[in-house]
Structures are given as structure tokens and as C-alpha cells.
Structure 1
Amino acid sequence: MKKAKGGNFFVKHKFALSISIFAFGLILILSIVSYSPRDEANLLSLSEIGKIFTGDELVRIKLERTKNWLGFFGAKLSFLFLNYLFGYSSIFIGLILVILGVALFLDKLSKSILKFSFYLLVFSFLLSIFLGNLKLIFGTDEFRVEVCGGVGIYLADILTKLFGEIGSMILLLFVFFIFIGFVVEVNFYDFAAKASDSLLGLWSKLKQPQKVKQANIKAVKQVELKNAKGTEIVITTPEKKDFEKVEPQRSKPSKIQPGAVKDVSVRKIDFKLPPVELLEESDEETIADEEELNQNAEILRKKLANFDIEVEKISITPGPVVTLYEIVPAADVKVREIVSLADDIALALAARGIRVIAPMPGKGTVGIEIPNKKPSIVRIRSVIESPEFKNFEGILPIAMGKTITGEVYCDDLAKMPHLLIGGATGSGKSVGINTIIVSLLYKLYPSEVKFVIIDPKKVELVNYRKLANHYLAVCPDVDEDIITTPENAIVVLRSLVLEMNERYEKFSKAGVRNIQDYNEKVKQGKIKSTDEIQHFELPYIVVIIDELADLMLVGSTDVEEPITRLAQLARGVGIHLVVATQRPSVDVITGIIKANFPTRIAYQVASKVDSRTILDMNGAEQLMGSGDMLYLPAGATKPIRIQNAFVSPEEVEKIVDYISSQPGYDRPYELPSIVEKQKVEINTGEDFDELFEEAARLVVRFGQASTSLLQRRLRIGYARAARIMDQLEREGIVGPQIEGNKAREVLIGSENELDEILKKNR
């Protein structure tokens, strides 16, 4: 109760206190500015002050000869500060009082203002000592005590006795230098390094590492408020900074580049990465105004108060689309009580997409994400041009978008190592996939990365077929550059598995463990080609699957098996998967697939069940759509809310046209052929199963072929039946399994035709 009364007393008399502080500071400034050492009022003692009212003639004459703007009071006040404190540096004390009075009157007294006032006081103190040291060195009569004050001359005298006149001056200059550097936050290590570079010349410049991350630091301005109930509200808004233009760190094309033929080196192509001018200029991003933020904070406080939840502090971090309100509840409040009020908070704020984070990772707060009334569009150009993306040192850099605080977020696909994307129709999945592809096109050359694009929708990613001779990897067994049918998708996935196996075989014979070591040794000439294996730098392969559900409907086993094998083993050879689906159910995103995709993105979904299927937690059902997503990095426990960068179809078309207009390779990068692989296996003289001929006659007689049929009729196990079925397929007796568990098509019409085939293989 006493604390509350004290607080009320301060609020009640805040106006008078602020006016008093301001007035005294202004009087001090005016008296020091108009100070004159010739004012005889300065010589009046305290005992003579009373004679002012008795009409003493001598006192009257002294007052008439006083020229200070504030008369006797001003002359005496300035005389005391100038002679007994900091000298003329005391004027900064008056300035400090004026600033504190104004801030207190406007209720803007914050830590930043107090910090500035403290710095100003220290500067006044140091300046007084510096001037005192000058007076002791020169010792002229014109250099009066008023210049440095009693404090300055006293401390300067001590320093002079300890270090001498020159030593004390050097010491003071050094202290001034440290103080100014501390105030403006100078990195003395960088400063010393740059000074060393300038002294040592060009050789030192080449040895000194450049530090580019200093340009990424964003200044933050904090505005602290208090509402009528005493809840502290802190609004944190990022201040815009003009960054210097930084050229992206682009790697140069290799001297030996992979092309259509995989056992010989191909010619070098002259290629330029697309310029940012192909992208639409970003609109100025707007954040919610202070009035809206304060209004939402007050509604939030009142709503929680209705349920007896006391809030001590609310920190507000506005972003381009979503604003984060971090609340510090009272000590006796349970977190689950706040989580259960998510719907009530959304109702009170008339907002959709409310998400409660309880607690915030690494903080003692509860986060509530509330959408802005007027969200901004985050265009991909603002992300591509940012220093964060240009200076990002990832192998496969991806510009994800911007966080709720407006900061650019980038990540490396090579470290994920595979990405699973889920979300409802229209939530932004296809735009997100385009963002991933465009990010890689702006950073990597055709010799460094290839794409395998599977688009069952047939309309979202077809524009990229123009990049066949630059960035695409194709399978010779299919007639599509951009895969649009489930049957071709299964063939391509199997071809990727063969590519993975071939690369591992190369790595094994070269004695390396991953693609980075392999390419580095090839570049250095440490690995030589032989008659059996041609060694050259291998590109990374990014496999894009826009709709997994369509493939799983046709043949879940045939799709799940190669995807699982690639997800488990392919990261070491530079093959990475990006799989998206609009139906995040357990029959599409199976447990095996989820286990091998630790990095996930969830756009807006219809229910909590779908959110848990993707992220293993709720939250995605509360997203706003239109690129609003939750990004869960590998190993993280809490997802990050990001607004996906928007790239329009027109921008994609411009980028594709620019790249396709440049010289490319003669043919696309070819994956291994499944058909050729099967012929090689047959020609190696593989021994057929003893029951092969009996099984062949059995399937021709029945007109259908299935593993279960062979198991029942031949009384063998599943593994042996499956192996016989593969042999029948290689001999052209049965067709491939493309419809899940349905029986295979028998390609032989009669046993006479079968006898001809069997005679050739005997």
C-alpha cells in the first residue's frame, strides 16, 4: 500500500516537479551565458545579502554594476558553479536539467534519455579537467579559474603531480578517445586493424580479413509508456538505415563443367547471373502506427484483467504483417491460463490469426502474435537486395522472407538437408517454391546446381522448361523436361536413386566422404580420371515436388521408397529434396517421410490435426494465408513465423527469359537411364531363379501378374517372389508397377511367344 501511495504522490506532483527541474536548468544556462567576472555582485558575501532590503548604499551600487541577465541571483549562481564546480562546462548540467524536465513533463522519460544525460555529465567532468590542465600548463592571467572550475583545477593539479604536464595531457586525450568511442559504440578492434592496414600497406590489406557483418546491425529505438493501470508498455521499432551497396559473393564457373555427356568435360560457357532490375521494386513497408499498437495493448491488458490475469509489462515489436506483443505476467499467473484465452483475445481484437507462444524461447515472457490491420507485401527484390542475403555464405542459399520484426531470414538448403512444405490451397506453397528456385538462380551458376522439377499440376512450374540447357537435369527414359505425370515421376525418382549410387561409387574410389571434398579435390587435380570412371566437378541437384499427394494416390509404394532412400542417403552426394503438399494427412506425409525431413514449413492449414502432421504441434491453423508461414529448422523446438517473399509469375518469366537468352549447354544434364541399367544387369549373366520359367508361364496363363499370386501358387516368400517379378519385368514379360498394389500388366499374349523369349535366355 505504501508503494502505491508513493506512486500516486509522484504522478500527482509530476507536473510541478518537471516544471521546477526545467526552470532551474534554464536559469542556470542563462546565468552562465551572461556571466561576467566584473559583476561586483559576485563579491557580495552571504552576510551582506540581507542589506539589500535595508537600502544600504554600497550594496545598491554593487547591484547596479551587475550586468547578469538574471541580476544578483544569476550572478551569484553562475559564480558558484563556475568557480567551485566544473567551470564553463557547468552549462551542460543546465542542459541536462532542461532535457530531464521536458521528458518528465511529456512522460517520455526512458532509459535512452537517462543514458544520454549520464554521458553528457561525464563529458562535462572530463572537459573541466582538460581545461584545468591547460591552465596549469600555460598559467596566464587571462586563463581564469572560471574556465575550468574548482573541480577541474584541483583534479588537474593531482594529475600533473603524478604524470607531469605532458603526461597528464596525453592521458586525458586518451581517456577522451576511449569515452567518445564508447558513446558511439566504435569497434576498436576493427579500428586498430584498419589503422594497421594503412600503415603496413597493400600486403597487410590482403592479409587482413574483411568484416562485412557489421553492416547488418540494425539500430533499435525503444519508447516506454505506462498506462493508467501502471502496466509498462515498451514499443520497439527498427529504425531504417542506409546500407552501403554490397556486391554479392558469387562463385566463378568451373573450368570443367558437367553437361549432357557425363564421361567427358564440356566447353566453358559465358554466363551472367540475372540482375535485380528484372524484379519489381519493393513498396515502402509500413508498420502499425503507435496509436494502433497502444490501443491493442490496452485491449489485451483489459481482456486478461477480466480473467484475473495481471500483466506487469507489455513489449511490442511491430513488423510488416504481424506484430508481436510480449507480456510479462504476474508471478502467480499460470501460463496455460493465457494459452486457453487465445479465442477470447481474438474476439476482443476482432482479428484473425492470433497465435500464442507460451513461453517465448529464451525469454521469461508470453508472446501473442496479432496481425496488422494494413499488412505490407514483402517482395522478393527487397530480400534479394538485402545485405543479409548478398553476404550469406551458404552452399544452397534460400531467401525465406522476413520475420515479424522485419528482418530478412535466409537459410542453407544443403544444411537442412531436405525440406517438407505443407499448407492448404491458396496459402502460398507454389509462391514459396518459386521463391526457393529464384533465390538459387540469383546466387549459383549452371555448373553449380541442377533442378529436377515434378509438377503434377502442370501449370505452376512449367515456365522453367526454358532452362533445360542451363539448370535442368532430365532423365533420358521420359520425354518431359518438367515432369507432369505420376508415371514419369516414378521413373525420374528411380533415376535419381541410380545417380546417387553412381556418385557414392565415385566417392568411394576417390576416397572422399561428401560432394564438397570431392569437388575440391577434383579442382585441385588430386583426383585423376581413369578408363573406368571420369572425374569432374559435380553439380548439386535440387529435387522439387510441388504436389506429393497426387503421386501418392497413383502409387504410394513406388513413390515413397525412392523418396525415402534419397532423403536418407542423398545429402552426402549433393541431392536435396523440396517436397510440398496441400493435403498434409498421414497417408500422404507418412511416418517414414516425416522422419527424414527434419526441416519443415507450414502454411495456413484447415485444422489442428494438419498442423500437428506437419510440425508436430499446433499453430499453423491460426496463420493468415498469403505467404504467412511457420518455419521449423532442423533440431528446433519452436517454429519461426516468417512472411514469405512474394515473386509474381511475370517476374519468374522475366528471369527465365533472361537466362534462356544466354548461351547454354548443347543438351541438359542427363540422369542415368533405368532401361540401360536393366540391360546391363541382364547382359552380365545374372542367374535366373529356378522358378523363373514356371512363374513366367503362370502369369501368362492367368493374364495377370502380382507378387501375391507368385507367393500363393509357388509357395515362396515375399522377397523371392518380388525378385522373380523384377526379373520378369526386365525380360519384358510383365510391365512396371505403376498403380500401387494392383496387378501388373502381362505383355506376352501366348505361351508360344513366351517360349521364344525363354530360348534366347537359355
Structure 2
Amino acid sequence: MNLKTEWEKLKVRKKLIDAFKSGKIHLSYKSADHERLISPKIHAVDLANESTTITFTLPNGLNPELLDKNFFAFQQHFGNAIELEGEYKKFVLKIYNASMPSELIYSYKNIKDAINSYRLGVICGKNRQGEYVAFDLLKQPHILIAGETGSGKSTQLRSILTTMILSKRPDELELYLGDCKKSEFHIFRKVEHVQCVHSSPRDIQKMLLHIKKELDERSNLTETFEVSHVDELPAEHKRPYLVVCIDEFVMLRKDEKIMDILTEIAAIGRTLGVFLILSMQRPNAKVLDTTIRANLTVSMGFKLRDAMESKIVNTPNAHKIETSGRFIMNSDKLYEIQAPYLTMDKAKKLLGPFMVAKGPVKEVTEAPPQITEKDVFNDVD
């Protein structure tokens, strides 16, 4: 038996017991002469280089909501670099030995390894373990990104779109961009993957009507060839993935036709290879009605104004975030992540090899520009 290790485990146990006491996380039974407290039972303490993991169970009858309500007690005893997971009775508390970086400079060379195994990879950032987090848009379709001005929402959009462009050929991916604020997407306007960048509701509606027509055609094709996904269509009928990204789409809320098409894409786009990325500064429950919100399978909540906005986005405690570029992601579970920081100038240099001449109607070159490893992997500081 390693006495030093056992002593460290005992200290962790005592600290957790103190957290239970200060947070009043216990059952209380009073009799005439004394009060009996029943605290959660600690089953195991595992020490590792990156984190310490504690497994405990609640006594029957103790409301698990107390853990969320009094989460501050765990933070006061263990610091902010912690995660608590569980449901009803069994819970796991992780205490990370290293804190997350306050800034993560975008590096496609490193990001490529994280998305390489996915058909349409979306980069998120780094978690508390210092690992890149990414996911496949085909398996977790449609993204909602929300955050105040300066929270990191805009650079996250830039990182996601730039990474998609660098990792997919123009015949594999088409981007349709709506820039309601007229401030973010101009750098993508001449990129070959980008079919259009619109800012007025009228033009965005035309763009979405084109997407609606494409949805119908793809649906007919999958029915004709009796396949469940567009990727299974015969080679001569292959379709590229379509990503519709609209920044500050809340400005379109009064256009019923636009909202109807967005809802349809969210509902059936997955099997047809058509995906949504929607972003907004101020989450609004009326805009994010239950139909569209239920189909946005990934939510990224950067710094938000209050608990109500965090609830609308389904990213609890996003209103408590203090670091720019930090966000809560809700997908298969909750993550706290530091987003890559990609400046406008660096994005322009990375996108340079993909630029083509475009007129009123997009001009497409016969062959995409030849990209060298130096163009893509030589990240600019």
C-alpha cells in the first residue's frame, strides 16, 4: 500500500465531506435531543495525472437538484476546474489538475487530426484535459451558437467555416451564408465553396427557396433509389453537403417563409445532407420555438446575459462564463470548452488558395486551385 497515495485520497474525501456540509447537501432527522445528518456516500477516489475522480451516491430521499443549486460549495472547496456528472442517485465529480487556457490560437495543423475521422468535421476547441473536441455534423446535425458581443461567438463561426473549407473540396461541400449584421462573412465571399453571401431578408429568402428546391430534389432521389441517405445514392447522382449558416438569424423572425424553411431543414436535412448553423446574440424563446430547437442537436453557449438565456440555449451556467472564447456545449453531454481564436487576417491568409473570381453569378473554375501542404499547414502567427 502506498501510504502517500492513501493519505492524498483521505484529504480529498475530507474536502468533499466539508463541501457537503457547507452546501447543506444531506438529509436531516431531528429527535428530542439531537439532529442526525445523512450525507452522500463516497465510494471511490481515483487519483490521476490530469484529474482526480470521486464517485458518490445520494441517500434515498435527497433531492439531486441540491447539487446544482449548491454547486458553489464544490467550487469553493475544489476550485473552478471541476465537472459534476450524474442523475438521480450516482454522481461523479472530476477535479482537473490543470486549468484551461484563457486563449487558444487557431492551428489547422493540430485541428486536422481532431476532425480527420469525420465525414464533415466541426471543430469546437479544447476541453479541460487539453484535448481537442470535434464532432461529425452528419451524426449531430445542426448547430445553435449564442453569445454576447465580444464573447467569442463570431470567431467560433469563423473557425468552423474556415476548417470546413480547408478540409473539404468544393465538389464535396457548398456553403450558403446569411450575414444579417453585414459584418462577419465578407471574407468568405470569393471562396469557391461559398455559393452566396446575402444580408437582406429578401435575398436570404431567395437563397432558402433554392435550398428548399434542393431538399425536394434530394428527397425524390432517395425515394427513387430506395436509400436512407444521400451518401448512398449512385455515383452519377451524388450531391455535395450543403451548410446553411445564418448569423443573427433572429433578425429574420418576422419572415414566416424563411422561418418555415429553416424549420424544415432542421427537421429533415440530416438524411439529405443539408445542415444548419444558426447564431444569435440574444436568445429568444419565441424565435427558438420547440420545433426548431428540438432539432438543433448541438448548442454552444458563450457568455450570455442571464440564466433565462442560458436555459433557452440549453447551456446551463453560460451566463456565468468570465473568459472570452469560453463556452458551454450541449451535445451528447455537457462540455466546457475554449474555442480556437482565429483572427480575420489569419483566416484571409488560410482561405487565399481557395479564392476564385466571381461576378453577379458565381464563376466556377474548371479545376480547383492546387493547394500545397505549405498553404494549409503553415499557420500564420
- TM-score normalized by the length of structure 1: 0.41
Q: Percent identity?
A: 21
* Cα displacement (A) at 1:623: 2.9
Residue 366, structure 1, aligned to residue 93, structure 2: yes
Matched, 1:418 2:133: no
Higher-helix-fraction structure:
1
Distance 1:471 1:661, change over 3 A: closer
Q: 2:329 matched to 1:607?
A: no
Residue 324 of structure 2 is aligned to residue 626 of structure 1: yes
Residue 461 (structure 1) aligned to one of 174, 185, 189: 185
Residues 472 and 668 in structure 1, CA contact (< 8 A), matched pair in contact too: no
User: 1:281-430 alignment to 2 at 5 Å?
Assistant: 302-306=18-22, 326-329=53-56, 334=62, 335-344=64-73, 346=75, 357-359=84-86, 364-367=91-94, 372=99, 375-381=101-107, 384-385=110-111, 387-390=113-116, 392=117, 394-430=118-154
Deviations 1:645-676 (A, max 9, x none): 2222122110121222799x97259xxxxxxx
Whether contact under 8 Å (1:449, 1:542) holds in the other structure is yes
Give the number of the structure with larger relative contact order, counting CA–CA contacts within 8 Å between residues 6 or more apart. Answer: 2
Q: Is 1:544 the equivalent of 2:242?
A: no
SS at 1:544's partner residue? strand
Q: Could you tell me whether the CA contact under 8 Å between 2:356 and 2:364 is conserved in 1?
A: no
Residues of 1 paired with 2:310 and 2:114: CA distance? 30
Contact 1:342 1:355 in 2 (8 A): no
Corresponding residue for 1:146?
none
What is the Cα deviation at residue 512 of structure 1? 4.1
| CA deviation profile, 1:722-745 (whole Å, cap 9, x unmatched) | xxxxxxxxxxxxxxxxxxxxxxxx
1:317/1:405 contact within 8 Å kept: no
Counterpart of 2:11 (choices 228, 231, 253) is: 231
Judge conservation of contact 2:178–2:204 (CA < 8 Å) in 1.
yes
- Aligned partner of 2:31 in structure 1 is none
Are the counterparts in 1 of residues 56 and 90 from structure 2 also a CA contact under 8 Å?
no
Q: Match of 1:590, as an amino acid?
A: D
**How far is 1:417 from its partner?**
1.9
- Output the CA distance in 2 between the equivalents of 1:361 and 1:436: 36
Does the alignment pair 1:490 with 2:272? no
**Compared CA separation, residues 306 and 612, structure 1 to 2 (3 A):** closer
Q: What letter is aligned with 1:631? A: M
Q: 1:362 to 1:441 in 2, by over 3 A?
A: farther
Preserved contact between residue 114 and residue 134 of structure 2 (Cα < 8 Å): yes
Q: Is the 8 A contact 2:23 2:73 kept in 1?
A: no
Please give the alpha-carbon distance, in whole angstroms, between the structure 2 residues aligned to 1:589 and 1:445. Answer: 32
Structure 1 CA distance for aligned equivalents of residues 68 and 273 of structure 2 = 42
**Could you say which residue in structure 1 is the equivalent of 2:35?**
none
The change in CA–CA distance for 1:358 and 1:408 in structure 2 (over 3 A counts) is: closer
Q: CA deviation at 1:419?
A: 1.6
Structure with the greater alpha carbon radius of gyration: 1
| Change over 3 Å in CA distance of 1:362–1:516 after alignment to 2 | farther
Are the equivalent residues in 2 in contact too, given 1:451–1:544 (CA < 8 A)? yes
1:578-589 paired onto structure 2 within 5 Å: 578-589=277-288
Assess, with a 3 A threshold, how the Cα gap between structure 1 residues 652 and 452 changes in structure 2: closer, same or farther: same
Q: Which amino acid aligns with 1:495?
A: H
Distance in structure 1 (CA, Å) of the matches to 2:229 and 2:23: 57
Matches of 1:331 and 1:588 in 2, distance apart?
Answer: 39
Given candidates 330, 343, 355, the residue that maps to 1:648 is 343
Q: Is the 8 A contact 1:602 1:620 kept in 2?
A: yes
Query: Whole-Å Cα distance in 2 between the matches of residues 345 and 559 of structure 1?
Result: 45
CA contact (8 A) 1:548 1:588 kept: no
Task: Give me the whole-angstrom Cα distance separating, in 1, the residues matched to 2:218 and 2:57.
Answer: 59
**How many aligned residue pairs are there?**
346
The answer (yes or no) to whether the contact 1:497–1:562 under 8 Å persists in 2 is yes
Cα distance, 1:666–1:424 mapped onto 2, change above 3 Å: closer
Shift of 1:606: 1.8
1:194 aligns to what? none
**Residue 425 of structure 1: how far off its partner (Å):** 2.5
Contact kept? 1:600, 1:631, Cα under 8 Å: yes
- Code of the aligned partner of 1:487: R
Equivalences for residues 114-153 of structure 1 within 5 A = none
Give, in whole Å, the separation in 2 of the partners of 1:667 and 1:644.
34
- Deviation of 1:517 (Å): 1.4
**In structure 2, the residue corresponding to 1:405 is in which secondary structure?**
coil
Distance apart, 1:454 and its partner CA: 0.6
Matching residue within 332, 352, 366 for 1:657? 352
Which residue identity does 2:209 align to in structure 1?
A: R
SS at match of 2:286: coil
Paired with 2:220 and 2:77, the residues of 1 have a C-alpha distance of 62
User: 1:562: Cα distance to partner?
Assistant: 1.0
Q: Which residue of 2 aligns with 1:271?
A: none
Q: AA paired with 2:235? A: V
AA at the equivalent of 1:667: E
Report SS of the residue matched to 1:589.
coil
Q: Say yes or no: does 1:564 pair with 2:263.
A: yes
Shift of 1:451: 0.3
- Determine the C-alpha separation between the residues in 2 that align with 1:457 and 1:425: 12
**Between Structure 1 and Structure 2, which shows a larger proportion of strand residues?**
2
- Find the aligned partners of 1:308 and 1:501 in 2 and give their Cα distance: 57
Contact 1:315–1:325 (CA under 8 A) maintained in structure 2: yes
Q: Equivalent residue of 1:226, what SS? A: helix
Q: Deviations over 1:669-718 (max 9, x none)?
A: 9xxxxxxxxxxxxxxxxxxxxxxxxxxxxxxxxxxxxxxxxxxxxxxxxx
Q: How far, CA to CA, are the matches of 2:177 and 2:363 in structure 1?
A: 17
State whether residues 179 and 198 of structure 2, in contact with CA within 8 Å, keep that contact through their aligned partners in structure 1: yes
Alignment match, 1:522: 235
Note the C-alpha offset of 1:591: 1.8
Aligned equivalents of 2:95, 2:249: Cα separation in 1: 33
C-alpha change, 1:522 and 1:336, in structure 2 (3 Å) is closer
Give the unaligned 5+ runs of structure 2.
26-38, 366-381
Corresponding residue of 1:113: none
TM-score normalised by the chain length of structure 2: 0.76
Match of 2:275 in 1: 576
Deviation at 1:497, TM superposition (A): 0.5
**2:29: which partner in 1?**
none
Distance 1:471 1:382, change over 3 A: closer
Instruction: Give yes or no for the alignment of 1:667 onto 2:363.
Output: yes
Deviation string, structure 1 residues 56-97 (Cα, Å, up to 9, x no partner): xxxxxxxxxxxxxxxxxxxxxxxxxxxxxxxxxxxxxxxxxx
CA gap 1:464/1:593 in 2 versus in 1, 3 angstroms: same
